[in-house]
Amino acid sequence: MNPIRKQRVYALMAIAGGSILAVFLVVSALSKNLNLFYSPTDLLNNELSPDTLIRAGGMVREGSIKRSNNSLNIEFVVTDFKNDLTINYSGILPDLFSEKAGVVVQGYLEKEGSFRAIEVLAKHDENYMPPEVAKLMENAE
Amino acid sequence: MIAELGHIFLISSLVLSLSGGISAFFLKKELPIQKFALLMTLLVTGAFFALIYSFVIDDFSVAYVAQNSNINLPIYYKFAATWGAHEGSLILWILSMNLWLLAFLSFNKSGSINFSNIVFGVCSLVIFSFLLFTIFTSNPFERILPVPPLNGADLNPSLQDFAFTVHPPLLYFGYSGLLLPFAISIAAMLSSVPNRDWASASRPWTLLAGSFLTVGIGLGSWWAYYELGWGGWWFWDPVENAAFIPWLLTVALVHSLIVTENRNLFINWSLLLSIFAFAASLLGTFLVRSGILTSVHAFALDPERGLFLLGIFSFFVLGGLIIFAFKNSTKNQSSDYSINSKEFGLLLNNLLLVVLAVSILFGTLYPLIYEAYTGGKQISVGAPYFEFIIFPFSLMLGLLQGIALYLSWGSTKSFNFLGKLIIESLSIFLLTLILLFVLFEDLIPASFITIFIFAWLISGSIFFNFSFRSLEKYLDFINRRIGVLLSHVGMAILVLGVGVVSSYSNEKELILDPGDKIKFHNKDIEFLGIRDVKGPNYISKAAEIRVIDDNRSFELQTEKRTYFPSGQVTTEAGIETGIFGDFYVSMGDNFNGDSWSFKLQSKPFIRWIWFGALLITLGTFVSSINMVRRLS
């Protein structure tokens, strides 16, 4: 083969190999690691398997935060102003978590319709509402 | 008055950059472009100082100052607040683009007049578009009249911090530095400079931009680690990806330009990569500031701004690609290389880096694609996606980097190669044993891979030209290639840090009463009690923690601060830093009386991540300075 053609073959082989690998990785990674966002209303009549990791969110309902006195367990209610969802979480909450603030949680929908959060997502800025929640609020108005 | 002056400075540099940019494109004769660039730089510097001045004198009639400062804000942070939000950071961005252009024109003595003119022209037009964007959608000098507020809102408390004051300028400097390789590639396509010349003109600036990007990203990671109080150092947030993607492309470009300069190969590839690296930095800006992606970093979100930025992005990137499509075909490629050559190694390097960058970009944009495709369903792509993607790529890149420096142009003599590999294998064996001995009681596959790659990279960087017979020659060689060595060793150290901290971190959340003692990770921890602290613009509850290690005892303090006037609460972590690991404690919520929840973490080797990044910064910086010196 002449050198230039040989170089092209190398380059093509490398590019084809790289692309196949990338597509394979991206597809298999996406199939496992996507988390859909649900509002409390979405979850009302939803038959989700309790093993599916999802995101949910809304506004933390005033007066709904119940702490345990001697453990890190906490229960609160998020609302999209149509329906409510009870969230259970065990752990330290982010500084910006408060009543009447928007929150996004990641976790599993339990059989009884309550939500077991494994992560409560923090945000940086006081004025900043998670976009998913902001959209819910817009729809409610 | 001063604010109006700043505004006038901005408008005059807008006019200058447009007229200068256009005339440099069309007049094919020698123009005083350097003086022109100096004038533009001075004007933007003037505007920048006008903004700083407005902050320092608490001129709350300027809307931007009113939103981002406060009378009680310490003076140091009043300076930093200048670039604390969208409008001011744009001014800084424009200023740094001007400085890059000025530096290029002052040091670059090679190239035809036409070439320098076009570089100047492209840079001026980009600067013009950013000025236009600033003045029409994000003017920091806008006044609140007739009734200005008596006091400002405040600077976001988590930004009131040392790292924050330096992280954004350095990162913006890196982002905006990618303007130069872009302008140089456009100039290379429009003028007839030999490939060698434009590649060697582009290399030092690409390296320097990479250097700033590295330190900017590293500082951001360090800041997030100690300031956000979660102990994480990378979150795969869109805003982080927006910086990581250009970084990957810059690293690819730095390597591909080596081939273009030395072998007259990969010419089209280097040209395209220069366009894409710049495109990635613009895309990052667009994603972060238009608010279309969910990010933990909040900029003022405004669809109009997003549209404007998208316009700038499309204009320059499409423009660049059109020029690329219609340029004269490159005088091609005469040199031959085989599969065991440096050329092929660098080809693989580029391929891996670019494919990785594209995969990360895809994950970052996927929520948008999904939402558009499904008609509004919202989805998030979590950290596991990115971790899953990056692991095999890092592994392959690591394996490649370990032998990369052994390879020669054309084809590598297998005898030398084998000899060096033997030295390398021995040193790897030793390094691995030592590390295993020092570090771990238990071994999991991930940590074995980490240590192996670390040893592979270290020996591949240090021993690649080693021989006992000519030690002097070796030292001389090290001296000449110090930049490469530093950055490659830095990469090794970074990899070790990432690997170890990902596999061996420990954490525990619990509630403690004053006087409680517990054991955590062979440390005895005692919660001594709570103190009230009053800072210049906050009050805080500070918890005193005593830690007794095997052979020493120290006290840490973690705080829950409430900043006024915003009332925002932040957590200040207490961190005992160490070469082999950090102990990290942060305060959670208050329970009865003085009983609080705490999060304890051990973070082995986390410092190595930032130390590695620092070495890469240093290495690329040194290389770049040496190249500039050689050129001028």
Alpha-carbon gap, residue B36 to A21, rounded angstroms: 49
Cα(B77)–Cα(A90) distance, rounded to whole angstroms? 36
Least confident interval from A45-54, A92-101, B316-325? A45-54
Residue B424 has pLDDT above 80, yes or no: no
Going by C-alpha positions, the residue among B40, B143, B87, B30 that lies closest to residue B299 is B87
CA atoms within 13 A on the CB side of A44: 10
Strands (DSSP E) contained in B514-573 are 517-520, 523-534, 538-548, 553-563, 569-572
The amino acid sitting at B106 is: S
What is residue B305's predicted lDDT score, i.e. its pLDDT?
81
Q: Helix, strand, or coil here: B302?
A: coil
DSSP, residue by residue, B63-88: HHHHHH--TTS-HHHHHHHTTSSHHH
Please indicate whether residue B322 or residue B629 has the higher confidence score (pLDDT). Answer: B322
- CA-based nearest residue to A93, from B120, B591, B74, B316: B591
Set of chain B residues whose Cβ sits within 8 Å of the Cβ of A128: 298
User: How far is residue B60's CA from residue B47's CA, in Å, rounded to a whole number?
Assistant: 17
Chain B hits for A6, CB-CB cut-off 8 Å, are 336, 338
DSSP, res B496: H
C-alpha span between B484 and B470 (Å, rounded): 21
Q: Which residues contact B539 (CB under 8 A, 6 or more apart)?
A: B532, B533, B561, B562, B564
Task: Taking residues B548-563, report their average pLDDT.
Answer: 90
The closest alpha carbon to A117, from A108, A126, A104, belongs to A108
If pLDDT is split at 50, 70 and 90, which confidence band does A8 have? confident
B519 — alpha (psi -120 to 50), left (phi > 0) or beta?
beta
The pLDDT value recorded for residue A37 is 85
What is the rounded average pLDDT of the residues B506-512? 91
What does the pLDDT look like over B71-104, one tens digit per residue? Answer: 888 888 998 889 888 889 899 999 999 999 999 9
Query: What are the residues whose beta carbons fall under 8 Å from the beta carbon of B138, sequence distance 6 or more?
Result: B86, B87, B90, B305
Chain B contact set for A93 (CB, 8 A): 588-589
> Using one digit for the tens of pLDDT, what is the confidence trace for B105-126?
998 876 688 899 999 999 999 9
Alpha carbon of A35: minimum distance to chain B alpha carbons (Å): 5
Containing B406, the helix (H) or strand (E) segment is none
Nearest CB among B355, B511, B599 relative to A70 is that of B511
Residue B396 · residue B405 · CB < 8 Å:
no
C-alpha B407/C-alpha B601 separation (Å) is 43
Structure tokens at B455: 């040893």
pLDDT tier at B407 (50, 70, 90 boundaries)? Answer: confident
| Site from A13, A33, A37 to mutate, B interface, most B CB atoms within 10 angstroms | A33
- Give yes or no for residue B419 having a pLDDT over 80: no
Q: Which of B60-64, B256-260, B408-412 has the lowest mean pLDDT?
A: B408-412
Query: Per-residue confidence at B70, pLDDT binned at 50, 70, 90?
Result: confident
Quick check: A124 and B344 CB within 8 A? no
Residue B614 banded pLDDT, cuts 50, 70, 90:
very high
pLDDT score of A113 more than 60: yes
Contact B389 A96 (CB under 8 A): no
Maximum average pLDDT range among B326-330, B368-372, B594-598? B594-598
DSSP SS3 for B526: strand
Q: What percentage of chain A carries pLDDT values higher than 90?
A: 14
**Cis? peptide before B149, omega within 30° of 0:** no
Q: Is the pLDDT of residue B450 over 80?
A: yes
Query: B35 is written with which tokens?
Result: 């003086």
| B597/A33 Cβ within 8 A | no
Do the chains contact at B351 and A70, CB–CB below 8 Å? Answer: no
| Chain B residue at shortest CA distance from A15 | B351
Please answer whether residues B14 and B135 qualify as being in contact, where contact means their C-beta atoms are separated by less than 8 angstroms.
yes
The distance of Cα B537 from the centroid of its chain, to the nearest Å, equals: 31
Average pLDDT for chain B: 87
Q: Given this model, what pLDDT does residue B110 score?
A: 67
**B200, pLDDT greater than 80:** yes
Neighbours of B299 (CB within 10 A): 18
- pLDDT value at residue B522: 83
With a cut of 90, say whether residue B135 has pLDDT above it: yes
Contacts of B222 (CB under 8 A, 6+ apart): B163, B233, B610
Alpha-carbon distances, residue A98 vs A5, A9, A122, A136, B568 (angstroms):
65, 60, 11, 18, 11
Q: How many angstroms separate the CA atoms of B271 and B276, rounded?
A: 9
A35 touches chain B (CB under 8 A): yes
- Tell me the pLDDT tens digit for each residue of B468-501: 667 777 788 788 889 999 999 999 999 999 998 9
- Name the residue with higher pLDDT: B217 or B564: B217
Asked whether the beta carbons of A58 and A80 are under 8 A apart, the reply is: yes
Cα separation, B106 vs B99, in Å, equals: 10
| Residue B225 clears pLDDT 80, i.e. is over it | yes
> Residue B375's pLDDT is what?
76
DSSP B555: E
Cα-based torsion angle of the residue sequence B475, B477, B481, B484 in order, rounded to the nearest 10 degrees: -80
User: B589, B590, B595, B599: best mutation site toward chain A, by most A Cβ within 10 Å?
Assistant: B589
| HEC secondary structure over A19-75 | HHHHHHHHHHHHHHCEEEEECHHHHHCCCCCCCCCEEEEEEECCCCCEECCCCCEEE
Mutate to test the interface with A, among B272, B296, B335, B380 (most CBs of A within 10 A): B380
Query: Closest chain B residue to A32 measured between Cα atoms?
Result: B385
Distance from CA of A127 to the nearest CA of B (A): 9
Compute φ and ψ for B100, nearest 5 degrees. -60, -45
What does the block give as tokens for B318? 């499409």
pLDDT digits (tens, 9 = 90+) for B276-317: 999 999 988 877 776 666 555 545 456 678 888 889 999 999
Share of chain B above pLDDT 70, in %: 92
Structure tokens at B110: 């090679």
Q: What is the DSSP string of A73-139?
A: EEEEEEE-SS-EEEEEEESPPPTT--TTSEEEEEEEE-TTS-EEEEEE---S-TT---HHHHHHHHH
Cross-chain Cβ contact A32/B388 below 8 Å: yes
What's the predicted TM-score (pTM) here? 0.92
Residue B332 pLDDT greater than 60, yes or no? no
| A:41-80 residues touching chain B, CB 8 A cutoff | 55, 67, 69-72
Q: Which residues from chain A sit within 8 angstroms of residue B377, using beta carbons?
A: 36-37
